[in-house]
Amino acid sequence: MKTQWNDAPGGFHPASAPDFLPRRELERLQLGRLQSVVARAFERVPLFRRRMEEKGLRPDAVKALPDLAKLPFTVKTDLRDTYPFGLFASPMEEIVRLHASSGTTGKPIVVAYTDADLQVWTSVMVRTFAACGLHKGDVIQNAYGYGLFTGGLGAHYGGEALGATVIPISGGNTERQLMVLQDFNVTAICCTPSYMVHLIERAKDAKIGFGRLKVGVFGAEPWSESMRHHIEQETGIKAYDIYGLSEIIGPGVGIECAQQDGLHLFEDHFYPEIIDPKTGAVLPDGAEGELVLTTLSKQAMPMIRYRTRDITAIHAEPCPCGRTIRRIRRIGRRSDDMFIIRGVNVFPSQVETALLQVEGTLPHYQIVLSRVKGLDEMEVQVEVTPEVFSDTIGSLESLQRKLADAIDHVVGIRVKVHLVAPRTIARSEGKAKRVLDQRNI
Amino acid sequence: MMIRQLSLFLENRSGQLRVPCKVLGDAGIDILTMSLADTQQFGILRLIVKDWEKARKALEAAGIVVNVTDVLAVDVPDRPGGLASVLESFEKAGLGIEYMYALAAARERGQYATLVFRLGDPERAARLLRDAGVKLLSSEELFARAGA
């Protein structure tokens, strides 16, 4: 699949992408697309039409971009309740691809694409890779899972359209990943950040380096700034945070540029709002809240004001890279990942930050929640590494104390730290499972 | 005079002690002596073997965290009060003991008992103890003592 920018001689020219449109031109484009997508959803998606009518609204209520705030939200359970095809706005014969999420509880959610949707998806992935400094001639090892998960195919077609060489290795088989990385002169890798940490560990064991690797495009799970430092220091690559979700399109909703200071949203296709998760009120740029996205150009499955559950803030200030599309702060917290222990809201990323503050601790950890005699207990299992292991009980106990202190400092509660032997915490080849909740609530 | 000791991190659950012993067995390495320090959660297995580098490689290849520490092997007269008199030399030299254990299968029973000591600054400790007339064993002497 080719895109207009990539067809130019010499490959991709990022300056010709909508990333750099003057704001007023961009907003004009957004409004036109918003009006069409709202009309399309109203005409073709019964659930959306009903919700609009309940509010006494018709598509012509959208006269300017801020009018979006009048429209009803869409939430994840809407996708489950209308399983499998209830939110489709195109007839099946126009739908050329289906993906589905890993439904951890019950039915998965299904998402659909027309040919035009796939072209948009590919174009935003081209812009994603370009923002990471990749171009024709780069060799991309795509270790996102191929299949129902959107990560694999999304990155795949984007990489090809960029003009890069794509290795569709998919997830897993770490030995082969490391071999291919060396032998095929790979310059960029796509995978989850936790899998990258695993690759680093195994490469160290095998005493091999990362060859020509210079860029990592990591996403599909929240990861901390300290984890980025760890990956960059261990490998010498630049680690970029990519954002996306199947409900909106897959990977390619937002990406960091070379500044690595927030993720640019491809807002010519995905319009962002930040809301107060409790009241639903739209918050101004800069304020922290839940990210709500509207797909401006989606045909098969338009999402109007989809609540992502991701907590972030919009940065509207101009970026030194010249992109005019706005940025969101890195997402360290998903309201879905949050758990409450003894009345305190805790995000796994906070625990990760705390652990990394204690020198020498690799981010292999797991949080285990249990209920003992009616009381919630939180235990953090941390693998002992050669760097932190010394041969007296006292020094290990002092390490446990330091880790518990660091968590206490960041999270605000005292937890039990359990030192475990290396490689005893299960490694994930996709999204890391950081929290094991055994409370049976 | 330094003896290389291997310290291994073990979780305190059943089967954990067997794993490193099996690894060493498969590598044909004889354990001269060992001691186990434990807490409710984890333990540290301390080992003295002849070929410590080979042992370390085998253990690390099996995914076990290994730490190498210098310890001193001290000959203590095998009679009532023998250890007390050696410890007096430690005290006079101002040396703190982090931990100690006895050498298994020493052949000089009746003359000497061989004890392994971990001290804060082993180099300095060796010097001071020698000056105080305490008998320290070299690796070769230790292995001979253990019949290896």
Chain B CA closest to residue A396: B42
Contact A421 B63 (CB under 8 A): yes
- CATH 3.30.2130.10 residue ranges of chain B are 3-69, 70-145
Q: Region A208-214: what's the mean pLDDT?
A: 95
CATH level 3 topology of B3-69: VC0802-like (3.30.2130)
CA gap A94, A99 in Å, rounded: 15
- Complex ipTM tops 0.85: no
Q: Do A297 and A352 share a domain, yes or no?
A: no
Q: Do A16 and A72 share a domain, yes or no?
A: yes
Q: How far is CA A76 from CA A23, A48, A134, A336, A433, in A?
A: 31, 14, 33, 11, 20
**pLDDT tens, position by position, A114-130:** 999 999 999 999 999 99
Q: Do A357 and A290 share a domain, yes or no?
A: no
- Sign of torsion, CA A334 A340 A346 A351? negative
Q: Which of B41, B42, B67 sits opposite A391 (nearest CB)?
A: B67
Mutation for testing the B interface, residue in A388, A389, A391 having most B CBs under 10 Å: A391
Instruction: State which of A299, A334, A369 marks the end of a domain.
Output: A334
Q: Do A114 and A170 share a domain, yes or no?
A: yes
B64 Cα to chain A: minimum distance (Å):
7
Q: Do A27 and A83 share a domain, yes or no?
A: yes
CA gap A21, A325 in Å, rounded: 8
DSSP secondary structure string for all residues of A76-102: HHHHHHTTTTTT--S-GGGEEEEEE--
Phi, psi dihedrals of residue A33, rounded to the nearest 5°? -70, -40
Q: Do A298 and A410 share a domain, yes or no?
A: no
Q: Do A274 and A415 share a domain, yes or no?
A: no
Answer left, alpha or beta for residue A359, where phi above 0 means left and psi between -120 and 50 means alpha: beta
Q: Do A191 and A86 share a domain, yes or no?
A: yes
A421 Cα to chain B: minimum distance (Å):
6
B111 Cα to chain A: minimum distance (Å):
31
Contact, A334 vs A327, CB < 8 A?
Answer: no
pLDDT at B106 over 70: no
Chain B residues within an 8 Å CB radius of A390: 7, 67
A207 Cα to chain B: minimum distance (Å):
12
Chain A residues within an 8 Å CB radius of B118: 391-392
Answer left, alpha or beta for residue A374, where phi above 0 means left and psi between -120 and 50 means alpha: left
Domain harbouring A402, CATH code:
3.30.300.30
Contact A386 B66 (CB under 8 A): yes
Q: Do A146 and A87 share a domain, yes or no?
A: yes
Give, as one character, the DSSP assignment of residue A404.
Answer: H
**How far, rounded to the nearest angstrom, does the alpha carbon of residue B51 sit from its chain's CA centroid?**
14
Parent domain of A260:
1-334
pLDDT at A1 over 70: no
User: What is chain A's mean pLDDT, rounded?
Assistant: 90
Which has the higher per-residue pLDDT, A259 or B145?
Answer: A259
Chain B CA closest to residue A391: B7
Q: How far is CA A344 from CA A336, A362, A436, in A?
A: 15, 26, 17
**pLDDT tens, position by position, B126-136:** 999 999 889 89
**pLDDT tens, position by position, A416-434:** 999 998 888 888 777 778 8
By CB neighbour count within 10 A (0-12 exposed, 13-18 middle, 19+ buried), where does A209 fall? middle
By CB neighbour count within 10 A (0-12 exposed, 13-18 middle, 19+ buried), where does A145 fall? buried
Instruction: State which of A282, A309, A334 marks the end of a domain.
Output: A334
**pLDDT tens, position by position, A23-80:** 999 999 999 999 999 999 999 999 999 999 999 999 999 999 999 999 999 998 899 8
**How far, rounded to the nearest angstrom, does the alpha carbon of residue A433 sit from its chain's CA centroid?**
15
Q: How far is CA A217 from CA A13, A232, A260, in A?
A: 20, 12, 12
What's the structural domain count of chain A?
A: 2
Domain harbouring A250, CATH code:
3.40.50.12780
Mutation for testing the A interface, residue in B41, B48, B56, B97 having most A CBs under 10 Å: B41
Q: Do A109 and A248 share a domain, yes or no?
A: yes
Taking the alpha carbons at both ends of chain A, their separation in whole angstroms is 48
Contacting B with CB below 8 Å, chain A residues are 384-386, 389-393, 396-397, 418-424
Phi, psi dihedrals of residue A409, rounded to the nearest 5°? -65, -45
B102 Cα to chain A: minimum distance (Å):
17
CA gap B10, A432 in Å, rounded: 25
| In chain B, % of residues over pLDDT 70 | 95
pLDDT at A318 over 50: yes
Alpha-helix runs per DSSP H in A254-377: 348-357
Q: Do A300 and A383 share a domain, yes or no?
A: no
Q: How far is CA A441 from CA A188, A433, A437, in A?
A: 42, 18, 9
Q: At A172, list the tokens.
A: 């897993």
A vs B, Cβ pairs < 8 A, gives: 53
Contact, A438 vs A369, CB < 8 A?
Answer: yes
Instruction: State which of A334, A354, A385 marks the end of a domain.
Output: A334
Mutation for testing the A interface, residue in B23, B42, B46, B99 having most A CBs under 10 Å: B42
Which has the higher per-residue pLDDT, A220 or B44?
Answer: B44
Contact, A315 vs A328, CB < 8 A?
Answer: yes
| In chain A, % of residues over pLDDT 90 | 66
Q: Which of B41, B46, B118 sits opposite A419 (nearest CB)?
A: B41
E strand spans, A313-372: 314-315, 327-328, 333-334, 339-341, 344-346, 365-372
Chain B CA closest to residue A400: B41
Q: Do A287 and A347 share a domain, yes or no?
A: no
Q: Which of A386, A392, A393 sits opposite B65 (nearest CB)?
A: A386
pLDDT of residue A102: 63
| CATH for the stretch B70-145 | 3.30.2130.10
pLDDT of residue B143: 86
Chain A residues within an 8 Å CB radius of B60: 386
- Identify the band that residue A111 occupies on the pLDDT scale cut at 50, 70 and 90: very high
With residues binned 3-state (H G I as helix, E B as strand, rest as coil), the percentages for chain B, rounded to 5, are: 30, 35, 30
B110 Cα to chain A: minimum distance (Å):
32
Contact B39 A421 (CB under 8 A): no
Contacting A with CB below 8 Å, chain B residues are 5, 7, 9-11, 16, 37-39, 41-42, 44, 46, 60, 63-67, 69, 98-99, 118
